[in-house]
Amino acid sequence: MSKVKWTKEQMQAIEEKGSNILVAAAAGSGKTAVLVERIIHKIINEKIDIDKMLVVTFTNAAASEMRERVLKAIYKKIEEEPENAYLQRQITLLPKANISTIHSFCLDVIRNNFYEIDIPSNFRVADTAEISLLKQETLDDLFEKKYEENDEDFSSLLDLYTNYKGDETLQNLVLTIYGFIQSSPFPQTWLEEKIAMFEEVEGITDFGETIWGKIILENVKEKIEETIIGLKDLENSLSKYDELALFTRNSSRR
C-alpha cells in the first residue's frame, strides 16, 4: 500500500505537542486519519504505550472505528519494521487501551472510585425514561412540601408563573432550567451567580438599565438595524421601476 502524503496542516496536527489542538475540517477530509496517525506518532516517537493514552469519542461506532483503525495502522507500521518488538507489544496492549466513548470512560472513573464520592458499589446508570420519572417524582414531592409549608416566596412564584390550569408551567420551567444548567460545569455556581444578578439591580428603576434590559435592548437594536438594511435593499430594487421610484422618493421626503 502506498504511503499517505499528509498535507502541511495535517502534519502539524499530527506532530504538534505541548498545547491543546482543535482540528476542524470538512466531512471525510481526514480528521480521524490524522488522529490515528497522531496516536501512532506518539507510540513510535515518544515511546508512549497505547494503554497509557486516553482516546474518547462521542459514539460507540466512532470508538470502534478508532480502535480498528489504530490496530490497522500499527500492523502497517509492523510491516515496515517487522523486527520492532515495541510495536508488536502495542497489539497485545490494545484490547485494554482506553479508546471509548466519553460516557463510558466517565463511568469507568466512577466505578473505580465509587468510595471517594460516597455512592454504593453496585450503582448503575438509569435509562432516560427512569430519569424522567425520578425528576417528576422529586419535583412533585418538592411542590407538595412547599404547598404544605405555605412558603411565601413559593406563593409569589406560583402567582407569576402558573395559570388557572395548574402549576405545570412552573414545573416545566424548573425542569427546563435544570436541564440547561446541567450543561454547565458547576450548575449550582451558575444558579448562584444568576441569583446574585437580582441583587445588583436593586434600586434600578429603569428596566433598560438592568442586565437583562441591556441584553434585550441590544437584541432589539440589532433587529432594527437588520430591518433597516432589508428595507434599504428593497428601496433599491423598487427604484428600478419609474412608478415605484417616485413613490419611494415621495415617502423618504417626509
Question: Helix (H, G, I), strand (E, B), or coil: what is residue 24?
Answer: coil
Q: Which does 176 bind (CB under 5 to 8 A by kind): ligand ATP, Mg ion, none?
A: none
> Amino acid identity of 67?
R
d(CA 108, CA 196): 37
C-alpha cell of residue 180: 440547561
- Measured from the CB atom, the residue of 36 and 43 that comes closer to ligand ATP is 36
Q: Name the segment binding ligand ATP (CB under 6 A); options: 22-30, 104-112, 148-156, 157-165.
A: 22-30
**Residue closer to ligand ATP, measured from CB, 29 or 156:** 29
Instruction: Based on the shown chain and the rule CB under 6 A, indicate whether residue 27 belongs to the binding site for ligand ATP.
Output: yes
DSSP state of 11: H
Residue type, 211: I
- C-beta separation of 31 from 23 below 8 A: yes
Which residues 6+ apart lie within 8 Å of 20 measured at CB? none
Query: Is residue 61 close enough to count as binding ligand ATP by CB under 6 A?
Result: no
Report the run of H or E that residue 179 belongs to, with start and end.
helix 168-181
Residue 10 contacts ligand ATP per CB under 6 A = yes
Stretch (H or E) spanning 55: strand 54-57
33 binds ligand ATP (CB under 6 A): yes
What are the residues binding Mg ion (CB under 5 A)?
A: 32
Least separation in angstroms between residue 143's CB and ligand ATP is 46
Ramachandran class of 119: left when φ > 0, alpha when ψ lies in -120 to 50, beta otherwise = beta
Quick check: 99 binds ligand ATP (CB under 6 A)?
no
- Exactly one of 30, 39, 50, 70 binds ligand ATP (CB under 6 A); that residue is 30
Exactly one of 11, 31, 103, 239 binds ligand ATP (CB under 6 A); which one? Answer: 31
Of 1, 2, 20, 28, the residue at the interface with ligand ATP (CB under 6 A) is 28
CB of 35 to Mg ion, least distance (A): 8
- Name the grid cell of 27: 466531512
In the complex, which residues of this chain contact ligand ATP (CB under 6 A)?
4-7, 10, 25, 27-33
